[in-house]
Chain A
Amino acid sequence: MLAILWKDLQIELRTKETLAALLLLGLLTLLVLSFAFDPTSPLRDAAAPGVLWVALVFAGTLGMNRSLLRERDADCLQGLLLAPVDRGAIYLAKTAGNFLVMLAAQLVLVPLFVFFFNLPLWQTATRLAPVVALGLLGFAAVGTLFAAVSLRTRAREVMLPLLMLPLAVPLLIAGIQASAQLMAGAAVADVAHWLNLLAAFDAVFLVVGWMAFEYVVEE
């Protein structure tokens, strides 16, 4: 499992193509959504956490598609499946890889978000870190499973968001709500129920993905 993860990370470190694409798409989403709000209106600040999460979701969806497409393009998935490892382990490695790449993208995106929305950097970044990390983990868990599913369909790129986003509704609501409250200065204890929900989502979909991945990749 660690070997697969290491291989994926090495490819990413050498090419940096997914990371670059993620960053640009995330940045573009921030830009496009900024046009939706009058820059002088207080509405814009209220919408800020939502904007961050939408950027995260769009960028994440793209990255997830890439990570499995790469395996398919050169029939590498075949090789992986022939290797004497549990299919669940392949899933966990892929999920971990996606998680780390998205996390790396966030390390740049969140400061940019702070920059565009004129927020206190240190405070925002440290307070949002646990929410974003839990959100990304759940997103990687559900996304990796359904990226593998959509790989098996005809309309690959379209299918992933269609399958994943409705299931990720609790993740989005919890992430946006917790971020909004934390950015407004709420104590961590006040958003504990959202963090619990995020953690529960992560746990549930890691288990579902780990168990179901075998069915997805079998011939």
Chain B
Amino acid sequence: MSGPDLTDRLLPPATIGLMLAALYLVFVAVPSDAFQGPVQRIFYVHMAMWLSTFTAFGIVGVASLLYLWRREPRWDHVGRAAAELGLLFCSLGLATGSIWAKPIWGTWWTWDPRLTLTLVLWMIYAAYLLLRTLATEPTQGATLAAILGVSGVVDLYLINRAVYWWRGIHPAVIVNREGGSGLSDPLMRVTLVVCMLAFFLVFLWLLRLRLRTARLQEAVDDLRAALATS
């Protein structure tokens, strides 16, 4: 590694700039929703979480598969970093969603298929991270976690079908599509896009930082091992 490359130099200012723009748009520029009032503004942040969450969990699946196949520590680092961030954004997404749902739906939580699916995903990746901490040795933990990572992705389709049928048979009490009132104002659509991009850049930035930490950690471990044997 020789100094920060172009991406590392451009990513922080781009993220900060876009985030400031997003904050301005969400809190100042964009008009309040006609039916939902100011509460609806959290929706821009809420939607932005899911892009990062699902990208992250997708990365975990691919990285797990590659790790089992190629056995390169690199893929393990990627999987771990993505799982941590995915869990973070998933938690934030669930939290912002609940804060929005309380005044709008009148409840913090409903067993809507999408919510159920997300909660199950959260559980799987929480177990994934716990598995790594509790593994008896690091390489073993990496392999075991990769198996869970692959199983999680494989299971995704089945979980999806199950929760949709589950709720499909008992129709949900509250039928309301998010953004059902429509993002009528063009500025609302702009805000949503800027917000999603801003949070996605935060995700990418954190991912890169986390990967660098993992590489440094590995270098430190190698040095320590070398010192111990000499």
Contacts and interface: CB of A to CB of B under 8 A. Distances in A.
Contacts of B95: none
Contacts of B136: 152-154
B131 A149 contact: yes
A200 B165 CA distance: 15
A162 B147 contact: no
Nearest to A159: B134
Contact of B131 (A153, A173, A174, A205): A153
B120 A212 contact: no
A173 B165 CA distance: 9
B127 interface: yes
Given A154-B134, A177-B169, A215 B143 contact: yes
A149 B120 contact: no
A170 B134 contact: no
B72 to A, nearest CB: 15
Contacts of A194: 165
B166 A177 contact: yes
A40 B136 CA distance: 50
A150 to B, nearest CB: 8
| Of B123, B134, B144, B154, most A-chain CB atoms within 10 Å | B144
Contacts, number: 83
17 contacts: A153-B136, A154-B134, A163-B127, A166-B120, A166-B123, A167-B124, A167-B152, A169-B120, A169-B162, A169-B163, A170-B161, A170-B162, A173-B163, A197-B165, A212-B150, A216-B143, A216-B144
Interface string A137-150: 00000100110010
Contacts of A205: 151
B69 to A, nearest CB: 10
B193 interface: no
A208 interface: yes
Contacts of B39: none
Contacts of A204: 154-155, 158
A99 interface: no
Nearest to A207: B154
B163 A216 contact: no
Contacts of B162: 169-170, 173-174, 197
Interface in B110-168: 120, 123-124, 127, 130-131, 134-136, 140-141, 143-144, 146-148, 150-152, 154-155, 158-159, 161-163, 165-166
B68 interface: yes
Interface of A: 142, 145-146, 149, 152-155, 159, 162-163, 165-167, 169-170, 173-174, 177, 193-194, 197, 200-201, 204-205, 208, 212, 215-216, 218
Name the 3 nearest CB pairs between A and B, nearest first: A170-B162, A166-B123, A170-B158
Contact of B159 (A142, A146, A170): A170
A208 B165 contact: no
Given A174-B162, A215-B146, 13 more contacts: A149-B131, A153-B131, A154-B136, A159-B130, A170-B161, A173-B163, A197-B158, A200-B158, A204-B154, A208-B150, A212-B150, A215-B147, A216-B147
Interface of B: 68, 120, 123-124, 127, 130-131, 134-136, 140-141, 143-144, 146-148, 150-152, 154-155, 158-159, 161-163, 165-166, 169
Contacts of B166: 173, 177
B147 A149 contact: yes
B66 to A, nearest CB: 13
A173 B164 CA distance: 10
A164 to B, nearest CB: 9
Contacts of A159: 130-131, 134
A216 B163 CA distance: 30
B127 A162 contact: yes
Given A153-B144, A162-B130, A216-B147, A193 B158 contact: no
Contacts of B150: 208, 212
A167 B68 contact: no
A61 to B, nearest CB: 14
A215 B147 CA distance: 8
A166 B136 CA distance: 23
